[in-house]
């Protein structure tokens, strides 16, 4: 019964809009550092079983999802390139070598590595070490 109540309570508390100034300071600093020309247009916080997760949308449409530790979990820049400082070096090297000039527009941390989407709609999967494991076109 207590678990059902907790689940219902979490559902009713989930997905709350927050003002940019109400975001945790480390998330605000992350956006300022890596997206200095963009303002935060919209933000939500979502209650999960492990704590609050945050979804941030920038003025240009870029979406950044943060986990409960305030680390980025997914960055979707739509048509623009994900900032190079956020792409692990082995992944950046592999993409540059095999898809020269094609920017990474989305990067997603997974349980076993990363999923990367390129501007030409090719999706790449990398393991935790940054080695290419799968290519979907």
Whether residue 1 is predicted with pLDDT greater than 90 in this model: the reply is no
Which pLDDT value is given to residue 11?
47
70/84 same-domain check: no
11/34 same-domain check: yes
Lowest mean pLDDT among 9-23, 94-108, 121-135: 9-23
CA dist., res. 105 & res. 26, Å (int): 23
- 92 and 103 in contact (C-beta within 8 Å)? no
- Identify the residue whose tokens are 């792409």: 87
16/69 same-domain check: yes
Range of the domain at 16: 1-76
Does pTM top 0.85 for this prediction?
yes
Q: What CATH code is carried by the domain that includes residue 63? A: 3.40.1420.30
117/70 same-domain check: no
Label residue 80 by pLDDT band (50, 70, 90): very high
The total domain count for the chain is 2
89/127 same-domain check: yes
């Amino acid at each position: 019964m207590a678990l059902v109540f907790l689940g219902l309570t979490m559902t009713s508390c989930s997905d709350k809009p927050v003002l940019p100034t109400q975001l945790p300071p480390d998330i605000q600093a992350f956006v300022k550092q890596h997206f200095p020309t963009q303002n935060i247009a919209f933000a939500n916080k979502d209650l999960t079983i492990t704590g609050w997760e945050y979804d941030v949308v920038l003025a240009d449409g870029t979406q950044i999802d943060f986990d409960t530790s305030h680390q980025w979990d997914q960055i979707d820049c739509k048509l623009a390139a994900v900032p190079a400082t956020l792409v692990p070096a082995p992944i950046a090297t592999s993409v540059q070598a095999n898809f020269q000039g094609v920017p990474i527009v989305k990067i997603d941390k997974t349980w076993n590595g990363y999923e990367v989407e390129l501007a030409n709609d090719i999706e790449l999967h990398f393991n935790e070490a940054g080695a290419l494991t799968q290519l979907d076109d």
